[in-house]
Amino acid sequence: MILYEYPLNERVRTMLRLEDLFERLEFFARQEHPLEHHAALATMFDVLDVAARADLKADLLQELERQKHSLMAFRSSPDVSIDALDRILAQIEEASHDLGSSTHKAGQHIRDNEWLMSIRSRTIIAGGACEFDLPSYYAWLNRSAAERQRDISQWVTPFRPLYDSLTIVLKLLRESAQRSMMTAQQGSYQQTLGGKTFQMVQVKLDEATGAIPEISANKYLLWIRFTTQESDHRPRPFEGNVEFELSLCNL
């Protein structure tokens, strides 16, 4: 099965982009080859750009606080595991404290590092980070893998409160999903939403079908058009019915 997620507002779109970038950054940072660590730094600069959204921190703090109060209301429910509830509440409390304790704009430590910013200014140019452009960076890439990993960890660590917070919010959002099995007739599916607000759509289907969902939605209508790829990889309308699992997520 393959899962596709589609954000229905800008806040969730930003969080999903950051989640993808953080996962990519962690993957490359764990590797040892200089080219993989170059990819890690390039990804870190992408994180810097996306995290610069002015209201992201405030949005996350507000959402964490709202979820904390919502979950505390379940303490009196006999169907809820108190231990599990306490664990998630503790995670929310810790993430909220760490994020709120950060007084600087996300990534300010990177912006204050002239050496890193000189690399960033060259990486946006195609082939601009060659050894003859940035000899000091080339020298760093030729240090031991352990030294590079230590430096990358030092640069990435200040982003951790942001990552932990958005991870919790996205986890709760995904767990809120209302799931149902649907069929797209001749590769097309529409559902009226009646003005109800959702934050994310999930579509899960068997990869073997070869169907690829293209999703568009507003508060009134959800439309999923399935396409397929042939040898030239150009999308073409999917001919036939598609069985899929549809999830509508809203905190």
Can you give the residue ranges of every domain in the chain? 10-171, 177-249
Domains 10-171 and 177-249 fall in the same CATH topology: no
Q: Of 54 and 89, which is predicted with more confidence?
A: 89
pLDDT band at 54 (very low <50, low <70, confident <90, very high): low
CATH architecture of 177-249: Sandwich (2.60)
**Long-range Cβ pairs for the range 85-91 (8 Å, 24+):** 88/168, 91/168
Contacts of 188 (CB under 8 A, 6+ apart): 223, 224, 225, 226
pLDDT level of residue 171 (50, 70, 90 thresholds): very high
Query: If DSSP codes are grouped into helix, strand and coil, which group holds residue 221?
Result: strand
- Please report which confidence band the pLDDT of residue 36 belongs to, taking 50, 70 and 90 as the band edges: very high
Q: Which residues pair with 75 in a beta bridge?
A: none
* pLDDT tier at 139, thresholds 50, 70, 90: very high
Alpha-carbon distance of 241 to 251, in angstroms, equals: 31
- Cβ–Cβ < 8 Å for 124, 163: no
| pLDDT (average), residues 128-152 | 94
Q: Which residues contact 177 (CB under 8 A, 6 or more apart)?
A: 202, 247, 248, 249
Q: Say what angle helices 160-175 and 56-72 make with each other, to 10 degrees.
A: 50
Q: Characterize 154-177 residue by residue with b for buried, 16 or more Cβ atoms within 10 angstroms of its Cβ, and e for exposed.
A: ebbeebebbbbbbbbbbebbeeeb
Domain 10-171 superfamily per CATH:
YacF-like (1.10.3900.10)
Q: Report pLDDT for 74.
A: 76
